[in-house]
Structure 1
Protein backbone atom coordinates (compact mmCIF):
# COMPACT_ATOMS: atom_id res chain seq x y z
CA UNK A 1 0.00 0.00 0.00
CA UNK A 2 1.32 3.42 -0.93
CA UNK A 3 2.11 5.70 2.01
CA UNK A 4 0.48 9.11 1.59
CA UNK A 5 2.60 12.04 2.72
CA UNK A 6 0.63 14.66 4.63
CA UNK A 7 1.63 18.27 4.00
CA UNK A 8 0.59 21.67 5.33
CA UNK A 9 0.85 24.95 3.43
CA UNK A 10 1.42 28.39 4.91
CA UNK A 11 -0.70 30.94 3.07
CA UNK A 12 -3.72 30.67 0.82
CA UNK A 13 -2.82 32.75 -2.22
CA UNK A 14 -2.60 31.76 -5.86
CA UNK A 15 0.34 29.39 -5.44
CA UNK A 16 -1.27 27.50 -2.55
CA UNK A 17 -4.58 27.18 -4.37
CA UNK A 18 -2.86 25.89 -7.49
CA UNK A 19 -1.05 23.22 -5.46
CA UNK A 20 -4.27 22.20 -3.70
CA UNK A 21 -6.26 22.07 -6.94
CA UNK A 22 -3.55 20.12 -8.82
CA UNK A 23 -2.94 17.36 -6.31
CA UNK A 24 -5.62 14.78 -6.96
CA UNK A 25 -6.89 12.13 -4.58
CA UNK A 26 -4.73 9.05 -4.69
CA UNK A 27 -1.51 11.03 -5.21
CA UNK A 28 1.61 10.31 -3.18
CA UNK A 29 0.99 13.44 -1.12
CA UNK A 30 -2.02 15.39 0.02
CA UNK A 31 -2.49 18.85 1.45
CA UNK A 32 -4.00 18.19 4.85
CA UNK A 33 -3.90 21.67 6.35
CA UNK A 34 -3.39 25.32 5.48
CA UNK A 35 -2.03 27.85 7.96
CA UNK A 36 -3.89 31.18 7.69
CA UNK A 37 -3.86 34.40 9.68
CA UNK A 38 -5.47 34.37 13.15
CA UNK A 39 -9.23 34.66 13.00
CA UNK A 40 -9.50 33.69 9.32
CA UNK A 41 -10.08 29.96 9.59
CA UNK A 42 -13.86 30.19 9.05
CA UNK A 43 -13.40 32.36 5.97
CA UNK A 44 -10.77 30.00 4.57
CA UNK A 45 -12.91 26.92 5.25
CA UNK A 46 -15.60 28.23 2.92
CA UNK A 47 -13.21 28.19 -0.04
CA UNK A 48 -11.20 25.03 0.68
CA UNK A 49 -11.98 21.44 -0.32
CA UNK A 50 -13.60 19.49 2.50
CA UNK A 51 -10.45 17.44 3.14
CA UNK A 52 -8.23 20.47 3.76
CA UNK A 53 -8.35 21.97 7.27
CA UNK A 54 -7.50 25.64 7.88
CA UNK A 55 -5.61 26.37 11.10
CA UNK A 56 -4.26 29.63 12.51
CA UNK A 57 -1.52 28.37 14.84
CA UNK A 58 1.25 25.85 14.36
CA UNK A 59 0.34 24.00 17.53
CA UNK A 60 -2.70 22.70 15.65
CA UNK A 61 -0.61 20.91 13.02
CA UNK A 62 -1.86 17.35 12.68
CA UNK A 63 0.56 14.68 13.99
CA UNK A 64 0.80 13.09 10.53
CA UNK A 65 1.99 16.32 8.84
CA UNK A 66 5.70 15.85 8.14
CA UNK A 67 6.35 18.81 5.84
CA UNK A 68 5.18 22.43 6.06
CA UNK A 69 5.60 24.60 2.95
CA UNK A 70 5.65 28.41 2.92
CA UNK A 71 3.76 30.06 0.05
CA UNK A 72 3.04 33.39 1.74
CA UNK A 73 6.10 35.63 1.27
CA UNK A 74 9.30 36.64 3.03
CA UNK A 75 7.70 37.56 6.33
CA UNK A 76 6.17 34.10 6.63
CA UNK A 77 9.63 32.51 6.35
CA UNK A 78 10.91 34.45 9.36
CA UNK A 79 7.64 34.17 11.28
CA UNK A 80 7.07 30.43 10.92
CA UNK A 81 10.24 28.70 9.69
CA UNK A 82 12.19 28.07 12.89
CA UNK A 83 9.01 27.20 14.81
CA UNK A 84 8.00 24.61 12.20
CA UNK A 85 11.42 22.96 12.44
CA UNK A 86 11.37 23.08 16.25
CA UNK A 87 8.04 21.25 16.17
CA UNK A 88 9.75 18.39 14.36
CA UNK A 89 8.53 19.02 10.80
CA UNK A 90 10.52 19.60 7.63
CA UNK A 91 10.24 23.16 6.33
CA UNK A 92 10.11 24.00 2.62
CA UNK A 93 9.92 27.51 1.20
CA UNK A 94 9.50 29.38 -2.05
CA UNK A 95 10.35 32.89 -0.78
CA UNK A 96 14.10 32.27 -0.85
CA UNK A 97 14.83 35.99 -1.01
CA UNK A 98 14.16 36.04 2.74
CA UNK A 99 17.34 34.01 3.19
CA UNK A 100 19.42 37.01 2.14
CA UNK A 101 19.10 37.78 5.86
CA UNK A 102 22.23 36.05 7.15
CA UNK A 103 20.88 35.69 10.69
CA UNK A 104 17.63 34.11 9.52
CA UNK A 105 19.41 31.59 7.29
CA UNK A 106 21.78 30.64 10.10
CA UNK A 107 18.88 30.23 12.55
CA UNK A 108 16.92 28.01 10.18
CA UNK A 109 19.92 25.83 9.43
CA UNK A 110 20.84 25.48 13.10
CA UNK A 111 17.26 24.66 14.08
CA UNK A 112 16.90 22.09 11.31
CA UNK A 113 20.12 20.37 12.39
CA UNK A 114 19.19 20.44 16.07
CA UNK A 115 15.83 18.79 15.46
CA UNK A 116 16.94 16.45 12.69
CA UNK A 117 14.70 17.99 10.05
CA UNK A 118 15.22 19.16 6.46
CA UNK A 119 15.33 22.76 5.26
CA UNK A 120 14.28 22.90 1.60
CA UNK A 121 14.10 25.61 -1.05
CA UNK A 122 11.89 24.74 -4.03
CA UNK A 123 13.40 25.57 -7.39
CA UNK A 124 10.34 27.59 -8.44
CA UNK A 125 11.06 29.18 -11.80
CA UNK A 126 14.77 28.24 -11.73
CA UNK A 127 15.85 25.77 -14.39
CA UNK A 128 18.76 23.31 -14.08
CA UNK A 129 19.66 23.69 -10.41
CA UNK A 130 21.44 20.34 -10.70
CA UNK A 131 23.76 21.75 -13.37
CA UNK A 132 24.57 24.78 -11.23
CA UNK A 133 25.32 22.58 -8.21
CA UNK A 134 27.61 20.45 -10.38
CA UNK A 135 29.35 23.58 -11.65
CA UNK A 136 29.86 24.77 -8.07
CA UNK A 137 31.41 21.42 -7.11
CA UNK A 138 33.77 21.67 -10.06
CA UNK A 139 34.66 25.32 -9.44
CA UNK A 140 32.05 27.94 -10.33
CA UNK A 141 33.65 31.18 -11.53
CA UNK A 142 30.69 33.42 -12.36
CA UNK A 143 26.91 33.37 -12.18
CA UNK A 144 24.52 36.01 -13.51
CA UNK A 145 20.73 36.09 -13.51
CA UNK A 146 18.66 38.35 -15.76
CA UNK A 147 14.94 38.58 -15.00
CA UNK A 148 12.83 39.99 -17.85
CA UNK A 149 9.15 40.76 -17.31
CA UNK A 150 6.45 42.94 -18.86
CA UNK A 151 6.37 46.46 -17.37
CA UNK A 152 3.10 45.82 -15.52
CA UNK A 153 4.77 43.01 -13.58
CA UNK A 154 7.01 45.64 -11.95
CA UNK A 155 4.10 47.69 -10.60
CA UNK A 156 4.37 48.27 -6.88
CA UNK A 157 8.18 47.97 -6.93
CA UNK A 158 10.87 50.69 -6.81
CA UNK A 159 10.87 50.60 -10.63
CA UNK A 160 7.43 52.20 -10.63
CA UNK A 161 8.89 55.18 -8.80
CA UNK A 162 11.93 55.49 -11.06
CA UNK A 163 10.30 54.85 -14.45
CA UNK A 164 7.02 55.54 -16.20
CA UNK A 165 6.40 51.86 -16.79
CA UNK A 166 3.33 52.39 -18.98
CA UNK A 167 5.33 54.64 -21.30
CA UNK A 168 8.27 52.29 -21.90
CA UNK A 169 8.78 51.48 -25.56
CA UNK A 170 11.97 49.46 -25.38
CA UNK A 171 13.68 47.00 -23.05
CA UNK A 172 14.87 48.87 -19.95
CA UNK A 173 17.21 47.73 -17.18
CA UNK A 174 15.57 48.70 -13.89
CA UNK A 175 18.10 47.15 -11.48
CA UNK A 176 21.66 45.83 -11.43
CA UNK A 177 23.45 44.50 -8.38
CA UNK A 178 24.01 41.41 -6.21
CA UNK A 179 21.46 38.82 -5.16
CA UNK A 180 21.57 40.24 -1.64
CA UNK A 181 20.90 43.76 -2.93
CA UNK A 182 17.97 42.67 -5.09
CA UNK A 183 16.43 40.84 -2.13
CA UNK A 184 16.41 44.11 -0.20
CA UNK A 185 15.20 46.32 -3.05
CA UNK A 186 12.83 43.95 -4.86
CA UNK A 187 11.78 41.33 -2.28
CA UNK A 188 8.77 40.12 -4.29
CA UNK A 189 10.96 39.57 -7.35
CA UNK A 190 14.10 38.25 -5.65
CA UNK A 191 13.37 34.58 -5.22
CA UNK A 192 14.88 33.28 -8.47
CA UNK A 193 18.11 35.19 -7.86
CA UNK A 194 18.27 34.05 -4.24
CA UNK A 195 17.71 30.40 -5.13
CA UNK A 196 20.47 30.59 -7.75
CA UNK A 197 22.76 32.23 -5.21
CA UNK A 198 22.08 29.52 -2.62
CA UNK A 199 22.88 26.84 -5.19
CA UNK A 200 25.91 28.62 -6.59
CA UNK A 201 28.22 31.46 -5.57
CA UNK A 202 26.32 32.97 -2.65
CA UNK A 203 24.38 36.19 -2.26
CA UNK A 204 27.28 38.61 -2.73
CA UNK A 205 28.84 37.10 -5.83
CA UNK A 206 25.72 36.26 -7.81
CA UNK A 207 25.02 39.13 -10.17
CA UNK A 208 21.47 40.20 -10.99
CA UNK A 209 19.88 42.31 -13.71
CA UNK A 210 16.14 43.08 -13.76
CA UNK A 211 14.55 44.24 -17.00
CA UNK A 212 11.17 45.68 -18.00
CA UNK A 213 10.33 44.71 -21.59
CA UNK A 214 7.16 46.18 -23.15
CA UNK A 215 7.32 43.56 -25.91
CA UNK A 216 7.29 40.63 -23.48
CA UNK A 217 4.17 38.69 -22.57
CA UNK A 218 5.90 36.15 -20.32
CA UNK A 219 8.38 36.13 -17.44
CA UNK A 220 11.80 35.29 -18.83
CA UNK A 221 14.63 33.94 -16.70
CA UNK A 222 18.14 33.94 -18.18
CA UNK A 223 20.92 32.24 -16.21
CA UNK A 224 24.51 32.48 -17.42
CA UNK A 225 27.66 31.23 -15.81
CA UNK A 226 31.12 29.80 -16.18
CA UNK A 227 32.89 27.05 -14.28
CA UNK A 228 35.84 24.73 -14.68
CA UNK A 229 33.46 22.56 -16.73
CA UNK A 230 32.84 25.33 -19.27
CA UNK A 231 30.17 27.93 -19.93
CA UNK A 232 26.43 27.43 -19.55
CA UNK A 233 23.27 29.35 -20.33
CA UNK A 234 19.65 28.53 -19.46
CA UNK A 235 16.84 30.63 -20.94
CA UNK A 236 13.32 29.99 -19.64
CA UNK A 237 10.11 31.69 -20.66
CA UNK A 238 7.56 31.15 -17.91
CA UNK A 239 3.92 32.10 -18.06
CA UNK A 240 2.91 34.16 -15.02
CA UNK A 241 0.45 32.82 -12.48
CA UNK A 242 -3.00 34.06 -13.52
CA UNK A 243 -3.70 35.44 -10.03
CA UNK A 244 -0.29 37.14 -9.66
CA UNK A 245 1.74 38.42 -12.66
CA UNK A 246 4.85 38.80 -10.47
CA UNK A 247 5.01 35.03 -9.96
CA UNK A 248 5.76 32.35 -12.55
CA UNK A 249 3.21 29.54 -12.64
CA UNK A 250 6.09 27.07 -12.55
CA UNK A 251 6.65 27.99 -8.90
CA UNK A 252 3.48 26.18 -7.86
CA UNK A 253 4.24 23.20 -10.04
CA UNK A 254 7.75 22.83 -8.65
CA UNK A 255 6.07 22.15 -5.30
CA UNK A 256 3.63 19.70 -6.88
CA UNK A 257 6.44 17.89 -8.68
CA UNK A 258 8.47 17.53 -5.49
CA UNK A 259 5.48 16.19 -3.60
CA UNK A 260 4.93 13.62 -6.35
CA UNK A 261 8.51 12.38 -6.03
CA UNK A 262 10.57 14.71 -8.20
CA UNK A 263 13.77 16.46 -7.00
CA UNK A 264 12.73 20.10 -7.48
CA UNK A 265 14.21 21.31 -4.19
CA UNK A 266 17.56 22.43 -2.88
CA UNK A 267 18.42 21.12 0.58
CA UNK A 268 20.22 23.68 2.73
CA UNK A 269 21.30 21.45 5.65
Structure 2
Protein backbone atom coordinates (compact mmCIF):
# COMPACT_ATOMS: atom_id res chain seq x y z
CA UNK A 1 0.00 0.00 0.00
CA UNK A 2 1.39 3.38 -1.02
CA UNK A 3 0.92 6.89 0.28
CA UNK A 4 0.88 9.55 -2.47
CA UNK A 5 1.20 13.32 -2.16
CA UNK A 6 0.09 15.65 -4.94
CA UNK A 7 1.50 19.11 -5.66
CA UNK A 8 -1.27 21.24 -7.11
CA UNK A 9 -5.01 20.74 -7.37
CA UNK A 10 -5.90 22.18 -10.76
CA UNK A 11 -7.67 20.15 -13.43
CA UNK A 12 -4.78 17.70 -13.92
CA UNK A 13 -4.21 17.34 -10.16
CA UNK A 14 -7.90 16.79 -9.47
CA UNK A 15 -8.17 14.11 -12.15
CA UNK A 16 -5.07 12.33 -10.88
CA UNK A 17 -5.97 12.59 -7.19
CA UNK A 18 -9.43 11.12 -7.70
CA UNK A 19 -8.19 8.36 -10.00
CA UNK A 20 -5.37 7.38 -7.64
CA UNK A 21 -7.54 7.43 -4.52
CA UNK A 22 -9.67 4.72 -6.11
CA UNK A 23 -6.79 2.29 -6.66
CA UNK A 24 -6.59 -0.61 -4.17
CA UNK A 25 -2.78 -0.25 -4.00
CA UNK A 26 -3.05 3.38 -2.82
CA UNK A 27 -3.57 3.85 0.91
CA UNK A 28 -4.02 7.61 0.89
CA UNK A 29 -3.59 10.84 -1.07
CA UNK A 30 -2.54 14.19 0.36
CA UNK A 31 -1.87 17.58 -1.24
CA UNK A 32 0.86 20.21 -1.05
CA UNK A 33 -0.28 23.75 -1.85
CA UNK A 34 0.64 27.37 -1.24
CA UNK A 35 -0.16 28.75 2.24
CA UNK A 36 -3.68 30.14 2.27
CA UNK A 37 -4.92 27.77 -0.43
CA UNK A 38 -5.90 24.92 1.87
CA UNK A 39 -9.66 25.48 1.77
CA UNK A 40 -9.63 25.87 -1.99
CA UNK A 41 -7.83 22.52 -2.25
CA UNK A 42 -10.39 20.81 -0.03
CA UNK A 43 -13.24 22.30 -2.03
CA UNK A 44 -11.67 21.09 -5.28
CA UNK A 45 -11.02 17.57 -3.94
CA UNK A 46 -12.70 16.28 -0.78
CA UNK A 47 -13.21 17.75 2.72
CA UNK A 48 -11.06 15.39 4.81
CA UNK A 49 -8.00 15.25 2.55
CA UNK A 50 -4.77 16.24 4.29
CA UNK A 51 -3.38 19.55 3.05
CA UNK A 52 0.11 20.91 3.83
CA UNK A 53 2.33 23.74 2.60
CA UNK A 54 5.57 21.72 2.62
CA UNK A 55 6.74 18.12 2.53
CA UNK A 56 8.08 18.43 6.07
CA UNK A 57 4.68 19.34 7.56
CA UNK A 58 2.73 16.33 6.24
CA UNK A 59 1.71 14.01 9.08
CA UNK A 60 3.10 11.04 7.17
CA UNK A 61 5.94 10.95 4.66
CA UNK A 62 4.59 9.80 1.29
CA UNK A 63 6.13 7.05 -0.78
CA UNK A 64 5.94 9.25 -3.86
CA UNK A 65 5.08 12.86 -4.74
CA UNK A 66 3.36 13.84 -7.98
CA UNK A 67 3.82 17.39 -9.26
CA UNK A 68 0.84 18.71 -11.23
CA UNK A 69 1.28 22.29 -10.06
CA UNK A 70 3.26 23.78 -12.94
CA UNK A 71 6.72 25.25 -13.19
CA UNK A 72 6.65 27.40 -10.00
CA UNK A 73 5.52 24.38 -7.97
CA UNK A 74 8.43 22.25 -9.18
CA UNK A 75 10.84 25.06 -8.32
CA UNK A 76 9.26 25.57 -4.88
CA UNK A 77 8.95 21.93 -3.76
CA UNK A 78 11.06 19.73 -6.03
CA UNK A 79 14.45 19.89 -4.32
CA UNK A 80 13.00 19.48 -0.81
CA UNK A 81 11.00 16.42 -1.85
CA UNK A 82 14.00 14.73 -3.44
CA UNK A 83 16.38 15.71 -0.63
CA UNK A 84 14.02 13.99 1.81
CA UNK A 85 14.49 10.73 -0.09
CA UNK A 86 11.08 10.77 -1.79
CA UNK A 87 10.70 10.01 -5.49
CA UNK A 88 9.08 12.80 -7.50
CA UNK A 89 6.98 12.46 -10.66
CA UNK A 90 6.47 15.70 -12.60
CA UNK A 91 4.56 17.04 -15.57
CA UNK A 92 6.39 20.40 -15.40
CA UNK A 93 9.07 19.33 -17.87
CA UNK A 94 9.55 22.76 -19.41
CA UNK A 95 10.85 24.11 -16.10
CA UNK A 96 14.01 22.06 -16.61
CA UNK A 97 15.00 24.50 -19.37
CA UNK A 98 15.60 27.15 -16.69
CA UNK A 99 19.24 27.80 -15.85
CA UNK A 100 20.47 25.45 -13.15
CA UNK A 101 17.15 23.87 -12.12
CA UNK A 102 17.86 20.44 -13.61
CA UNK A 103 21.27 20.41 -11.93
CA UNK A 104 19.81 21.45 -8.55
CA UNK A 105 17.15 18.76 -8.73
CA UNK A 106 19.68 16.12 -9.75
CA UNK A 107 21.94 17.09 -6.84
CA UNK A 108 19.00 16.92 -4.42
CA UNK A 109 17.98 13.51 -5.78
CA UNK A 110 21.49 12.15 -5.34
CA UNK A 111 21.70 13.57 -1.83
CA UNK A 112 18.41 11.98 -0.83
CA UNK A 113 18.79 8.76 -2.81
CA UNK A 114 15.58 9.56 -4.69
CA UNK A 115 14.57 9.80 -8.34
CA UNK A 116 12.91 12.46 -10.49
CA UNK A 117 10.65 10.92 -13.16
CA UNK A 118 9.46 12.91 -16.16
CA UNK A 119 6.11 11.68 -17.48
CA UNK A 120 5.31 11.61 -21.19
CA UNK A 121 2.39 14.01 -20.68
CA UNK A 122 0.44 15.15 -23.74
CA UNK A 123 2.57 13.33 -26.33
CA UNK A 124 3.34 9.72 -27.24
CA UNK A 125 6.32 7.87 -28.75
CA UNK A 126 8.57 9.04 -25.92
CA UNK A 127 9.52 5.44 -25.14
CA UNK A 128 10.55 4.87 -28.78
CA UNK A 129 12.50 8.13 -28.86
CA UNK A 130 14.35 7.37 -25.64
CA UNK A 131 15.22 3.89 -26.93
CA UNK A 132 16.40 5.31 -30.26
CA UNK A 133 18.77 7.64 -28.40
CA UNK A 134 20.74 4.58 -27.26
CA UNK A 135 21.77 3.77 -30.83
CA UNK A 136 22.28 7.39 -31.82
CA UNK A 137 19.96 10.09 -33.17
CA UNK A 138 20.71 12.33 -36.15
CA UNK A 139 17.79 14.75 -35.80
CA UNK A 140 14.64 15.32 -33.75
CA UNK A 141 11.98 17.87 -34.61
CA UNK A 142 8.88 18.77 -32.61
CA UNK A 143 5.98 20.67 -34.20
CA UNK A 144 3.13 22.03 -32.09
CA UNK A 145 0.00 23.21 -33.88
CA UNK A 146 -2.99 24.79 -32.13
CA UNK A 147 -5.95 27.00 -33.04
CA UNK A 148 -5.11 30.69 -32.53
CA UNK A 149 -7.13 30.81 -29.29
CA UNK A 150 -4.90 28.07 -27.89
CA UNK A 151 -1.94 30.49 -28.00
CA UNK A 152 -3.76 33.32 -26.23
CA UNK A 153 -1.72 34.76 -23.38
CA UNK A 154 1.55 33.44 -24.82
CA UNK A 155 4.49 34.97 -26.67
CA UNK A 156 2.62 34.21 -29.91
CA UNK A 157 0.60 37.38 -29.33
CA UNK A 158 3.78 39.42 -29.74
CA UNK A 159 4.46 37.89 -33.15
CA UNK A 160 1.03 37.39 -34.72
CA UNK A 161 -2.42 38.99 -34.77
CA UNK A 162 -4.07 35.78 -33.61
CA UNK A 163 -7.63 37.08 -34.00
CA UNK A 164 -7.23 37.87 -37.71
CA UNK A 165 -5.41 34.76 -38.92
CA UNK A 166 -6.93 33.09 -41.96
CA UNK A 167 -4.20 30.51 -42.54
CA UNK A 168 -1.54 28.67 -40.55
CA UNK A 169 1.36 30.84 -39.37
CA UNK A 170 4.61 29.95 -37.60
CA UNK A 171 5.28 32.11 -34.54
CA UNK A 172 8.31 30.23 -33.22
CA UNK A 173 11.13 28.34 -34.94
CA UNK A 174 14.13 27.54 -32.75
CA UNK A 175 15.40 25.15 -30.12
CA UNK A 176 13.33 23.27 -27.58
CA UNK A 177 15.08 25.18 -24.78
CA UNK A 178 14.03 28.52 -26.26
CA UNK A 179 10.48 27.25 -26.75
CA UNK A 180 10.21 26.07 -23.15
CA UNK A 181 11.48 29.40 -21.84
CA UNK A 182 9.28 31.59 -24.05
CA UNK A 183 6.14 29.43 -23.76
CA UNK A 184 6.19 28.04 -20.21
CA UNK A 185 2.47 27.15 -20.28
CA UNK A 186 2.49 25.71 -23.80
CA UNK A 187 5.81 23.99 -24.50
CA UNK A 188 6.13 21.21 -21.92
CA UNK A 189 5.85 18.80 -24.83
CA UNK A 190 8.83 20.34 -26.62
CA UNK A 191 10.93 19.91 -23.49
CA UNK A 192 9.76 16.33 -22.98
CA UNK A 193 10.68 15.39 -26.55
CA UNK A 194 14.06 17.08 -26.16
CA UNK A 195 14.98 15.40 -22.90
CA UNK A 196 13.99 11.99 -24.28
CA UNK A 197 16.12 12.52 -27.39
CA UNK A 198 18.86 14.93 -28.41
CA UNK A 199 18.57 17.42 -25.57
CA UNK A 200 17.13 20.90 -25.21
CA UNK A 201 19.65 22.67 -27.43
CA UNK A 202 19.86 20.16 -30.30
CA UNK A 203 16.12 19.52 -30.67
CA UNK A 204 14.29 21.71 -33.19
CA UNK A 205 10.89 23.13 -32.21
CA UNK A 206 8.31 24.79 -34.44
CA UNK A 207 5.10 26.32 -33.05
CA UNK A 208 2.16 27.12 -35.32
CA UNK A 209 -1.14 28.96 -34.93
CA UNK A 210 -3.62 27.39 -37.34
CA UNK A 211 -7.24 28.57 -37.64
CA UNK A 212 -8.06 25.31 -39.42
CA UNK A 213 -6.75 23.10 -36.61
CA UNK A 214 -9.54 21.35 -34.75
CA UNK A 215 -7.46 20.80 -31.61
CA UNK A 216 -3.96 20.70 -30.19
CA UNK A 217 -1.75 18.69 -32.55
CA UNK A 218 1.70 17.45 -31.57
CA UNK A 219 4.09 15.91 -34.10
CA UNK A 220 7.50 14.32 -33.47
CA UNK A 221 9.91 13.41 -36.27
CA UNK A 222 13.12 11.52 -35.51
CA UNK A 223 15.94 10.07 -37.62
CA UNK A 224 18.78 7.92 -36.34
CA UNK A 225 20.52 4.56 -36.36
CA UNK A 226 17.17 2.87 -35.61
CA UNK A 227 15.61 4.26 -38.79
CA UNK A 228 12.98 6.99 -38.99
CA UNK A 229 9.61 7.69 -37.39
CA UNK A 230 6.88 10.34 -37.45
CA UNK A 231 4.33 10.45 -34.65
CA UNK A 232 1.27 12.70 -34.52
CA UNK A 233 -1.43 13.06 -31.92
CA UNK A 234 -4.44 15.38 -31.66
CA UNK A 235 -5.22 15.63 -28.00
CA UNK A 236 -8.45 16.51 -26.21
CA UNK A 237 -8.51 18.73 -23.12
CA UNK A 238 -9.93 17.84 -19.73
CA UNK A 239 -13.61 18.83 -19.45
CA UNK A 240 -12.86 21.11 -16.49
CA UNK A 241 -10.11 23.09 -18.21
CA UNK A 242 -9.73 23.57 -21.98
CA UNK A 243 -6.01 24.34 -21.50
CA UNK A 244 -5.20 21.08 -19.68
CA UNK A 245 -4.44 17.95 -21.69
CA UNK A 246 -6.47 14.89 -20.79
CA UNK A 247 -3.58 12.64 -21.78
CA UNK A 248 -1.26 14.51 -19.41
CA UNK A 249 -3.54 13.67 -16.49
CA UNK A 250 -3.81 10.06 -17.65
CA UNK A 251 -0.03 9.78 -17.98
CA UNK A 252 0.34 10.81 -14.32
CA UNK A 253 -2.02 8.07 -13.20
CA UNK A 254 -0.20 5.52 -15.37
CA UNK A 255 3.17 6.50 -13.90
CA UNK A 256 1.93 5.94 -10.34
CA UNK A 257 0.12 2.73 -11.26
CA UNK A 258 3.35 1.38 -12.74
CA UNK A 259 5.08 2.03 -9.42
CA UNK A 260 2.52 0.14 -7.33
CA UNK A 261 1.42 -2.65 -9.70
CA UNK A 262 2.94 -6.12 -9.83
CA UNK A 263 3.20 -5.86 -13.64
CA UNK A 264 4.08 -2.55 -15.31
CA UNK A 265 3.64 -1.65 -18.99
TM-score by length of 2: 0.92
Where in structure 2 are the equivalents of 1:236-251 lying within 5 Å? Answer: 236-251=233-248
Q: Does 1:96 align with 2:99?
A: no
Pairwise CA distance, 1:22: 2.6
| Structure 2: gaps spanning 5 or more residues | 261-265
Could you tell me how far apart the structure 2 residues matched to 1:163 and 1:206 are?
Answer: 24
Where in structure 2 are the equivalents of 1:130-209 lying within 5 Å? Answer: 130-209=127-206
Q: Structure 1 pair 148/82, CA: closer, same or farther in 2 (3 Å)?
A: same
* Equivalent pair of 2:70/2:92 in contact (CA under 8 Å): yes
Find the counterpart in structure 1 of residue 115 from structure 2: 118
* Equivalent pair of 1:7/1:67 in contact (CA under 8 Å): yes
| Structure 1: gaps spanning 5 or more residues | 264-269
What CA RMSD, in Å, does the superposition of the two structures yield over aligned residues? 1.8
Pairwise CA distance, 1:29: 2.9
Please list the CA deviations of residues 151-178 of structure 1 after superposition, one character each: whole Å capped at 9, or x if unmatched.
Answer: 1110001112322212211111111110
Could you tell me how far apart the structure 1 residues matched to 2:243 and 2:8 are?
Answer: 17
Q: Does 1:9 align with 2:12?
A: no
Find the counterpart in structure 1 of residue 125 from structure 2: 128
Please list the CA deviations of residues 189-220 of structure 1 after superposition, one character each: whole Å capped at 9, or x if unmatched.
Answer: 12111111111101100000011111122111
Pairwise CA distance, 1:81: 0.5
2:232 is aligned, of 207, 211, 235, to: 235
Could you tell me how far apart the structure 1 residues matched to 2:18 and 2:147 are?
Answer: 27
Could you tell me how far apart the structure 2 residues matched to 1:253 and 1:118 are?
Answer: 21
* Equivalent pair of 1:225/1:232 in contact (CA under 8 Å): yes
* Equivalent pair of 1:9/1:31 in contact (CA under 8 Å): no
Q: Match of 1:46, SS? A: helix
Find the counterpart in structure 1 of residue 263 from structure 2: none
Q: Does 1:42 align with 2:39?
A: yes
Could you tell me how far apart the structure 2 residues matched to 1:175 and 1:114 are?
Answer: 38
Between stretches 35-44 and 84-93, larger displacement belongs to 35-44
* Equivalent pair of 1:150/1:213 in contact (CA under 8 Å): yes
Q: Does 1:25 align with 2:43?
A: no
Could you tell me how far apart the structure 2 residues matched to 1:260 and 1:108 are?
Answer: 24
* Equivalent pair of 1:20/1:31 in contact (CA under 8 Å): no
Could you tell me how far apart the structure 2 residues matched to 1:25 and 1:213 are?
Answer: 39
| Misfit runs of 4+, over 4 Å | none
Find the counterpart in structure 2 of residue 259 from structure 1: 256
